[in-house]
Amino acid sequence: MTRPTPKEIKPIALVAGVPVDDEIATRISNSIGPAFEGFAAIAGTLPFDLEPALYPIAQTQKVSK
């Protein structure tokens, strides 16, 4: 997980339907960059079972014995 650059942010924003110019992409990069840097030390170490989208499935799944 690395800090996204304005060059990476522009196509992501375009796909999301919110095209941005170079100045806005730079501002977004500067705004979210510190969060990426803060998690850099543990990037790739969290287990996949912490992915929250699967919680409802896991909570309602019946266990077969």
d(CA 60, CA 54): 10
For residue 56, what pLDDT is reported?
65
**Phi and psi for 44 in degrees, rounded to 5?**
80, 0
pLDDT digits (tens, 9 = 90+) for 12-63: 899 988 889 999 999 999 998 888 888 777 777 766 555 556 566 666 667 6
| Under 8 Å between Cβ of 41 and 1 | no
Which residues make Cβ contacts (< 8 Å) with residue 43, sequence separation at least 6?
A: 1
For residue 46, what pLDDT is reported?
66
DSSP state of 2: -
| Under 8 Å between Cβ of 13 and 25 | yes
Any idea where the domains of the chain sit in the sequence?
A: 6-62
